[in-house]
A and B are shown apart, each in its own frame.
Chain A
Amino acid sequence: MDELIEIRWHGRGGQGAKTAAQFLAEAALEEGKYIQAFPEYGPERAGAPMRAYTRISNQPIKIHSAIRSPRAVVVIDPTLATSLVLEGLGKDGLLIINSSDSPDELRKRLNYKGGKLATVDANRISLEAVGREMPNTPMLGALLKVFPVVSMEAIEKQVRAKFLKKIGEEKTEANIQAVRRAHSEVKLG
């Protein structure tokens, strides 16, 4: 993994796209990689579409611009799955969408002719596992199935480290279960 890996996240303000981008980066940092994680700050409003970015490399990262040609795009909010998320995705691109629809349906709807497209119903998974719709961490599990840039253990460790103090053992475990379920339930098309 010598090349620079660039991942773009699409979510709505308050959905935790920034957090997901950061969890992934910090998991990679734990594995000895060089990282960057940053949100694209526009007008900061809850519910407004926003982007976040993760860079991972074996070498120190020099670039400080937004990611325009991501290797992978993760769509955290199902309503954001429009042609806008395809921006800059190449032939070997990976598109992971939170949706109850199949990859084939989404591929048709988005007219996506690129690499791989995967879907997972992260809203339902988080609702069942955690008790509320919080799709950002499950989407990390889904991403890692399609694009194993870090180990699942590293992500679970991140979730545990960040959540345990705030929400306690039981809810933390539920969140980790949600990440695992998304990892196993993701459908690749």
Chain B
Amino acid sequence: MTIKRVPLTGDQAAAEAMRQIEPDVLAAYPITPQTEIVMTFSQFVADGRVKTEMIPVESEHSAMSACVGAASAGARTMTATSANGLALMWEIVYIAASTRLPIVMPVVNRALSGPINIHCDHSDTMGARDSGWLQVYCENAQEVYESIISAVRIAEHPEILLPIMVCQDGFITSHAVEGLEIFDDQKVKAFIGEYKPRFSLLDTDNPVTVGPLDLQDYYFEHKRQQSEAMEKALSIIPSVLGKFNKAFNRNYGLVESYKLDDAEVAVVVMSSTAGTAKAAVDNLRAKGLKVGLLRPRFFRPFPKKVIVQALSNLKAVSALDRSESFSTQGGPLFVELKSALYESDRQPLLNNHIFGLGGRDIDVGEIEDVFKDLIKVAKNNKVERLVNYLGVR
């Protein structure tokens, strides 16, 4: 049977998932390149295709505040944002996580100003990596659509109860049309099920207080619980994804390995660039070079065990980061990777390439060069330069 595929951009794919999820509340403010998500969903609301209470707010700070209110009342709640919009909601982003509200937020990755730039990099969500949100990064529009659906069950899992960012690359994914397989509405609704919040401000028989002052007496314990939820998420996410995979015939995990089994060198890269890097792997494999790729889908929690396991037989690895952390010791993905490998007794040689800031295009040839350099690193058993900049003038 041929599968019917429909033309959608990454933004439209996100909106389509949101239509099928039909959250109780959506509060959002438009920002490039996320705008098309809110625009498309607004049309669904206006056309009566969803019963969602849509709150068009005056800023992202208000958007996340409205989400916190709605989710505290027990509503299945969503929003979406990008870059400076995420920056503006910052204060409330932390509050959403610490209040343990399972808000699902598609984020269309865009460079944070300044200098002002509307194109893709991961500086916005990488900045939010310590906010207590789960984060999943998608390679293409199909994965965006499917990850938003699975995100609902991950975030709402009673052992997790954390908000989640579902990230896609601004313009590269969000504004490119691809052919997408869309699941039946009923199948999606059956998978996500009804949201039964454990606590609700509207449940007057069981009154609760949300957001009280939490000083030296309990703040620490609450933070410790958040940390435990993240730790649990590492084992629960694969089981939720297992159910998703079974229901929709997919193969999602915390990470994706590509031609890694007999590889000697590999790159570790997230989002759309992983696709471009797979093409580089294919080209070099055709020439007999043993190269592979590891794509972390989840960055929060950081899937340390599966990553260390997947990289343990490699001679040399490069982490490709689409953001700068200004730590002077590499981008966030590299630093996490290096930290995870510290405890392993089998450590590949490691370097970092920072690429694509502000939407700078990266092509197959540039990634092939990274592989060729890694082969040299492996051969000489020496990392010449720890942090490299790919495609910068």
Instruction: Indicate with 1 or 0, residue by residue over A23-57, a CB within 8 angstroms of chain B CB atoms.
Output: 00110010011111111010000000000000000
Partner of B176, one of A33, A37, A62, A68: A37
B148 within 8 Å of A by Cβ?
A: no
Establish whether residues A64 and B273, one from each chain, have CB atoms under 8 Å apart when the complex forms: yes
B158 within 8 Å of A by Cβ?
A: no
Given contacts A25-B177, A41-B119, contact A66 B7 (CB under 8 A): no
Q: Which of B143-186 contact A (CB under 8 A)?
A: 169, 171-173, 175-179
Establish whether residues A64 and B140, one from each chain, have CB atoms under 8 Å apart when the complex forms: yes
A22 within 8 Å of B by Cβ?
A: yes
Give Cα A34–Cα B176 distance, bound, in whole angstroms: 13
Establish whether residues A22 and B177, one from each chain, have CB atoms under 8 Å apart when the complex forms: yes
Establish whether residues A38 and B276, one from each chain, have CB atoms under 8 Å apart when the complex forms: no
A65 within 8 Å of B by Cβ?
A: yes
B257 within 8 Å of A by Cβ?
A: no
The minimal Cβ–Cβ distance linking A84 to chain B, given in whole angstroms, is: 16
Residues of A within 8 A of B282 (CB): 62
Establish whether residues A65 and B177, one from each chain, have CB atoms under 8 Å apart when the complex forms: no
Establish whether residues A35 and B175, one from each chain, have CB atoms under 8 Å apart when the complex forms: no
* Contact stretch, chosen from B54-62, B248-256, B338-346, B360-368: B360-368
Given contacts A22-B177, A38-B177, A41-B171, contact A62 B363 (CB under 8 A): no
Establish whether residues B173 and A64, one from each chain, have CB atoms under 8 Å apart when the complex forms: yes
Establish whether residues A65 and B179, one from each chain, have CB atoms under 8 Å apart when the complex forms: no
Partner of A65, one of B5, B119, B362: B362
Establish whether residues A63 and B276, one from each chain, have CB atoms under 8 Å apart when the complex forms: yes
Q: Which of B275-294 contact A (CB under 8 A)?
A: 275-276, 278-279, 282
Give Cα A185–Cα B28 distance, bound, in whole angstroms: 50
The minimal Cβ–Cβ distance linking B309 to chain A, given in whole angstroms, is: 24
> Which residue of chain B lies nearest to A43 when distances are taken between CB atoms in the complex?
B118
Q: How many residue pairs between the two chains, A and B, have CB atoms under 8 Å in the bound complex? A: 61
The minimal Cβ–Cβ distance linking A184 to chain B, given in whole angstroms, is: 28
Partner of B7, one of A32, A35, A61: A35
The minimal Cβ–Cβ distance linking A43 to chain B, given in whole angstroms, is: 9
Give Cα A68–Cα B311 distance, bound, in whole angstroms: 32
The minimal Cβ–Cβ distance linking A61 to chain B, given in whole angstroms, is: 8
Residues of A within 8 A of B363 (CB): 65-66, 68
The minimal Cβ–Cβ distance linking B248 to chain A, given in whole angstroms, is: 16
Residues of B within 8 A of A26 (CB): 7, 177
Given contacts A29-B7, A68-B363, contact A62 B276 (CB under 8 A): yes
Establish whether residues B276 and A64, one from each chain, have CB atoms under 8 Å apart when the complex forms: yes
The minimal Cβ–Cβ distance linking B116 to chain A, given in whole angstroms, is: 11
Instruction: Indicate with 1 or 0, residue by residue over B1-20, a CB within 8 angstroms of chain A CB atoms.
Output: 01001010000000000000
Establish whether residues A38 and B275, one from each chain, have CB atoms under 8 Å apart when the complex forms: no
Establish whether residues B276 and A35, one from each chain, have CB atoms under 8 Å apart when the complex forms: no
Partner of B275, one of A29, A62, A66: A62
Give Cα A67–Cα B364 distance, bound, in whole angstroms: 10
Establish whether residues A25 and B7, one from each chain, have CB atoms under 8 Å apart when the complex forms: yes
Partner of A64, one of B5, B7, B118, B172: B172
Establish whether residues A22 and B364, one from each chain, have CB atoms under 8 Å apart when the complex forms: no
Residues of A within 8 A of B275 (CB): 61-64
Residues of B within 8 A of A29 (CB): 5, 7, 179
> Which residue of chain B lies nearest to A4 when distances are taken between CB atoms in the complex?
B279
The minimal Cβ–Cβ distance linking B115 to chain A, given in whole angstroms, is: 13
Give Cα A73–Cα B56 distance, bound, in whole angstroms: 42
Give Cα A22–Cα B175 distance, bound, in whole angstroms: 11
B272 within 8 Å of A by Cβ?
A: yes
Establish whether residues A63 and B279, one from each chain, have CB atoms under 8 Å apart when the complex forms: yes
- Choose among B2, B273, B362, B363 the residue with the greatest number of A CB atoms under 10 Å from its CB: B363
Residues of A within 8 A of B364 (CB): 63, 65
Establish whether residues A64 and B169, one from each chain, have CB atoms under 8 Å apart when the complex forms: yes
Give Cα A63–Cα B272 distance, bound, in whole angstroms: 8
The minimal Cβ–Cβ distance linking B371 to chain A, given in whole angstroms, is: 15
Partner of A35, one of B2, B177, B361: B177
Give Cα A64–Cα B359 distance, bound, in whole angstroms: 12
Please name the 5 residue pairs, one residue from A and one from B, whose CB atoms are nearest each other, closest first. A38-B176, A64-B272, A62-B275, A65-B363, A37-B177
Extra inter-chain contacts (5) besides given A37-B7, A64-B275, A65-B276, CB under 8 Å:
A38-B175, A62-B275, A62-B279, A64-B169, A65-B364
Contact surface of B with A, Cβ cutoff 8 Å: 2, 5, 7, 118-119, 140, 169, 171-173, 175-179, 272-273, 275-276, 278-279, 282, 361-364
Of the A-B pairs whose beta carbons lie under 8 Å apart in the complex, a sample of 22, sorted by A's number, is: A22-B7, A22-B177, A26-B177, A34-B178, A34-B179, A35-B7, A35-B177, A37-B7, A38-B175, A61-B178, A61-B275, A62-B275, A62-B276, A62-B278, A62-B282, A63-B276, A63-B279, A64-B140, A65-B276, A65-B363, A65-B364, A68-B363
